[in-house]
Amino acid sequence: MVEMNGSKALFEALNAEGVKHIFGIPGGSVIPIYDALFDEKKIVHILTRHEQGAAHAADGYARASGKPGVCLTTSGPGATNLTTGILNAYMDNSPVVAISGQVTSSAIGTDAFQEADMLSLMLPITKHNFIIHKVKDLPAIVKTAFDVATAGRPGPVHIDIPKNTQNEKADLKIPATVKHEKVLKMQPTPGEIGRAIEMLAHARQPVIYAGGGVVWSNASPELVALAEMVQTPVVTSLLGKGVIPEDHPLALGMLGMHGRMVANLAVTECDLLFAVGVRFSDRATGDIRHFAPKAKIIHIDIDPVEIGKTIRVDHQIVADAKLALKGIIAGLKSHVQRGRTSEWVKRAEKLRKELAPRTDYDEVPTKPQRAIKEIMSVLSGDAIITTEVGQCQMWAAHFCEIKNPRHFISSGGLGTMGFGFPAAMGAKVACPKNPVINIAGDGSFLMNSQELATVVENEINVVSCILNNRYLGMVKQWQDLFYQKRRSGVGLGKVPDFVKLAEAYGAWGGRASKPSEIAPKLKEALASGKPAVLDIPIDPDENVLPMVPAGGRLDEPILT
């Protein structure tokens, strides 16, 4: 037991959890915490330029590393500015621990300066949230917060710390001994495994549908092993990109509204859909009446709430994905001969070749398909790609060939513009040896472009490749396709000169005005030793196609 105040105790508790970095912005009700930070030796604080940027950076850190990301802000507007980023993490199951200051306990409920009821605001967008009125409770609450963020289905947790708690002293033991029941990895039952094995062994046209749950359970090796064992094509959700190397013969790419045509057709034709760690998003399924219409469906998920929520399920396994896949692989060895090639796999391979998207455009302005091809030609398999949201995101999902889990980071459930750049910052802090590229649209990049100051100040050398069409492109696409080209509120007009903007912050800035310039300019950006912005003007009239209209059938996309 050592006497210390709440601010010192907070950092001792964070150190006990192995925290190395915090993204945040100070303010009046966290000055005691920042005073303790002055003497902190192990944890690096990265001062962002907006609290939303801090939340997204913590989220990107978590997704790239698999460990909780941490953000810290003051009360009132500082804390409320976190909420978009925390909801984004909640929708995508990212373990973020968000810490905010609060007015003194005696002033809560009096409309004090910079007071906000963060307990209520965070309640529906976190796994759990706490307010610490007594410093003696702080060590146990911090430990519990990290346990909750990472246990079962991961997600964000919020801790609100009134200013008086930050200053209050007590004799404290850190790390705390917490008596709550620790959540163990959920084991599948033998009966659940046996039924899945039977269904897989007898399927003639199976498809594996893999999502972000495979990433969070570190189950990619098992997923690939299962696919190879039963020679089953694999499709993924947006957040599942990379769980199977996308150059693997069995990988068909992303499913859904903006998915690969071969993936959509495979799911429509399959007789067994083996879904692992997915939530059957409306963007993935389209019209649920026609989703996998010929298939029996197996659904493995750690959260029972997701099973049967939107899609009928014939067999469910509520368990950790890695444990479930291991059990199925062990049991299948007596049913399936490794290396078997079926007519179904041959058909999938034929469709993949016939429906391969075109990327070899030479036009100026550059087609985005060619832009992504050129970007990928420069990058090695260790590169981490983040995306903004909109057309740029879907072009990246479509044309980036990802070979490793945690190497494609994008805002899935919430679709948050402004996510990609600060997420890239967090990913680079988590994985400093990996090249980190943010594929951006001009509109989305501008949402958090102020974080250029953060990356320059902290020498976080990420590269943002801006696919610049001077539009809010995805909204424009919907207006063109479904609203008689009545383009309303989508023209960005005089966007900044992104080269000058980068240089104004002290970053590297460059422009690739035609396809042949993209790869050399990107190499120059990566070699600059600075954060970088590469402006790539693209065809403003190009759409993300094929596209399944909202509520449409996966096998009836818009092609032109």
Superfamily assignment of 368-537 in CATH? Thiamin diphosphate (ThDP)-binding fold, Pyr/PP domains (3.40.50.970)
114 is catalytic: yes
3-state secondary structure of 273: strand
231 is catalytic: no
**H/E element holding 508?**
strand 508-511
Residue 293 has pLDDT above 90, yes or no: yes
Residue 204 has pLDDT above 50, yes or no: yes
CATH class in words for 2-172: alpha beta
373 is catalytic: no
Which position among 114, 450, 503, 524 bears the catalytic label?
Answer: 114
Angle at 421 (CA atoms; ends 210, 276), nearest 5 degrees: 10
Assign 3-class secondary structure to 426-490.
HHHHHCCCCCEEEEEEHHHHHHCHHHHHHHHHCCCCCEEEEEECCECHHHHHHHHHHCCCCCCCC
* Shared fold status for 190-354 and 368-537: yes
What does the domain layout of the chain look like in residue ranges? 2-172, 190-354, 368-537
Query: Model pTM?
Result: 0.96
Q: Percent of the chain beyond pLDDT 90?
A: 94
Q: How far is CA 254 from the centre of its chain?
A: 15
C-beta separation of 152 from 183 below 8 A:
yes
Lowest-confidence region among 98-112, 301-315, 330-344, 368-382: 330-344
Which position among 91, 394, 474, 547 bears the catalytic label?
Answer: 474
Q: Give 335-353 pLDDT, tens digit per residue.
A: 655 445 689 999 999 999 9
Which position among 127, 163, 241, 322 bears the catalytic label?
Answer: 163
Q: Give 230-246 pLDDT, tens digit per residue.
A: 999 999 999 999 999 99
C-beta separation of 466 from 442 below 8 A:
yes
Angle at 389 (CA atoms; ends 383, 394), nearest 5 degrees: 70
51 is catalytic: yes
pLDDT at 339: 47
pLDDT at 185: 73
102 is catalytic: no
pLDDT at 333: 80
Q: What is the Cα–Cα distance from 347 to 262, expressed in whole angstroms? A: 10
Structural domain 190-354, CATH architecture = 3-Layer(aba) Sandwich (3.40)
Q: What is the Cα–Cα distance from 466 to 446, expressed in whole angstroms? A: 10
Place of tokens 């943010």: 438
Place of tokens 């039924």: 195
* Average pLDDT score over the chain: 96
Q: What is the Cα–Cα distance from 483 to 160, expressed in whole angstroms? A: 45
C-beta separation of 324 from 300 below 8 A:
yes
